[in-house]
Amino acid sequence: MKAARIGDYNATPVIEDVPTPDIGPGEVLVRVKASSLNPLDVKMQRGFMHAYFPVIFPYTLGTDLAGTIEHTGSNVTRWREGDEVVARLDPTSGGALAEFAVVKTEYLVRAPKTVSLEEAAGISTAAGTAWQALFEVADLKRGQSVLVHAGAGGVGSFAIQFARSVGARVIATASGAGIEIARRLGADQVIDYRSENFAVKVTDVDVVIDTIGGDTQQRSFNVLRSGGYLLATSAPPDEALAKAHNVAATFVFHASDGSRLEKIVEAIDTSVLKVLVDRKMSLLNFTNAFEHQASGRARGKIIVTPD
């Protein structure tokens, strides 16, 4: 099979022909219909996540996939060959950016019915991070307000839709074509961060989803109400600033969780939420796909198909 691999940190990913992997008793082999890229994949390639996710080289990139079950392990009873599934693999193992992937059953869920199997590959990490932040950490409720930074990004696009689905008021930052995208996804107010200062235009929000870090994160403390939440996905927040503003600030470190992913798929089907796709590219053109992810300019998810 073909797989996108690196032989060391900072090495350019290459497409290699490798043996189709074997499965264990509690695993399945998935024929990958599509995978998606995440900022995590770039961090893994650059070695930034070594302390959290040490890898063995050569390493096949990718955590998010959708496809059909090709084979099941001897102890697998819930799943059958041909079942359409989505999964988020353990980053230490990787393996999603390939024609076949080994998946532990605890990471498997049935694919949603309201989006294509290709687009379903874009759900796991981005939607999982947004869900974890909004509902498991902040316990977002109807009538509350949320500021979503980078509303046209992977996490941001799901955060807007999840917040709207429970009746929260959503403010998003974006730029260029992302402004209209954020509006279409349901943001009540969109701020062009290139020409407008969100810290002047926004005040007393209940929750901030910060996917950017740096100066954006620092200024975000000023827009929260006392007792609000700053949920950071790119870098741990400043605890001293949080204390000074009397808010809670949490670093949301997403972990693979099949039970959470199952809730997300149900929510997507129930509320008919969209997977925002930046582009679809072939695995054979993976270098360009990876470079676009690394540029930070993707509007939503980059979907990679094996063919």
Residue 206: closest CA among 151, 159, 143, 268: 143
**In the chain, which segments carry CATH 3.90.180.10?**
2-123+275-305
Residue 101: closest CA among 2, 215, 218: 2
**In the chain, which segments carry CATH 3.40.50.720?**
125-251
The structure's pTM equals: 0.96
φ, ψ of residue 97 to 5 degrees: the values are -90, 70
pLDDT band of residue 256 (cuts 50, 70, 90) is: confident
**79-95, pLDDT tens digit by residue?**
999 999 999 999 999 99
pLDDT band of residue 233 (cuts 50, 70, 90) is: very high
End-to-end CA distance of the chain: 11
| CA pair distance 190, 231, nearest whole angstrom | 19
**Domain 2-123+275-305 CATH class label:** alpha beta
Pairing type for strands 84-88 and 64-72 reads antiparallel
Give the mean pLDDT of the chain.
Answer: 97
| CA pair distance 245, 91, nearest whole angstrom | 35
pLDDT band of residue 129 (cuts 50, 70, 90) is: very high
In this model, does residue 55 exceed pLDDT 90?
yes
Question: Which two tokens mark 114?
Answer: 């309201």
pLDDT band of residue 255 (cuts 50, 70, 90) is: confident
- % pLDDT > 70, the chain: 100
CATH number of the domain at 125-251, out of 3.20.20.140, 3.40.1580.10, 3.30.450.70, 3.40.50.720?
3.40.50.720
* Mean pLDDT, range 18-45, rounded to an integer: 97
Q: Are 148 and 198 in contact (CB under 8 A)?
A: no
Indicate if the alpha-carbon torsion angle 189, 157, 268, 132 is positive or negative. Answer: negative
pLDDT band of residue 275 (cuts 50, 70, 90) is: very high
Q: Are 292 and 28 in contact (CB under 8 A)?
A: no
In this model, does residue 307 exceed pLDDT 90?
no
